[in-house]
Amino acid sequence: MVVVSVMLFGSFDELLSATNSGTAQKTDCFNAPPDRKRVFSQQVTSFRPVTVEELTRRLGRSGHLDEIEGQLAKLGFAPEFVAHNVFSGSDRVTVSHIAMLWQGMPNKHDRKRTRALFEALSTVGLLAPTGDDETWSVLSGT
């Protein structure tokens, strides 16, 4: 896990990219164009993103690879989408955020299918509910 406190950086995406790849470097933000200067006074907590191969390996270790892959297909989620977005490097994921990435403007059925995805991933120990219906924790080791 990496925790970074940031005051000035080119963009939030550049910060996350540099943090996740371990190549964060000091950037000369004072000479950046005005539209590229942003101030962030929050802490960013992230893990290294998971590849499709790593996700498949972890599902295989759980002994439920075929079952979960079947559920992903039934729900309409590609393994690439799950690896890239659900396990993108954040320590928490929300149903509404993943549904938005998946469908653009999700309806109640899309959110229900996203919640079913999270429940399936929690049965194999990759996610854990946080107590509400919306937010799930990405478990360490994923």
| Domain definitions of the chain by residue range | 2-46, 52-138
pTM passes above 0.85: no
The yes-or-no verdict on residue 93 having pLDDT over 50 is: yes
Q: Quick: pLDDT tens for 45-91.
A: 445 678 899 999 988 988 889 999 999 999 999 999 999 999 988 88
How far is Cα 54 from Cα 43, in angstroms, rounded to an integer? 27
- Cβ neighbour number for residue 136 with a 10 Å cutoff: 24
More confidently predicted of 30 and 67: 67
CA distances from 40 to 6, 9, 141 (A): 6, 8, 28
How far is Cα 94 from Cα 135, in angstroms, rounded to an integer? 4
How far is Cα 60 from Cα 25, in angstroms, rounded to an integer? 37
Residues facing residue 128 across a β-bridge: 137
Q: Quick: pLDDT tens for 107-135.
A: 999 999 999 999 999 999 999 999 888 99
Q: How high is the pLDDT of residue 88?
A: 85
Print burial letters for 65-80: b (CB count within 10 Å at least 16), e (below 16): beebeebbeebebebe
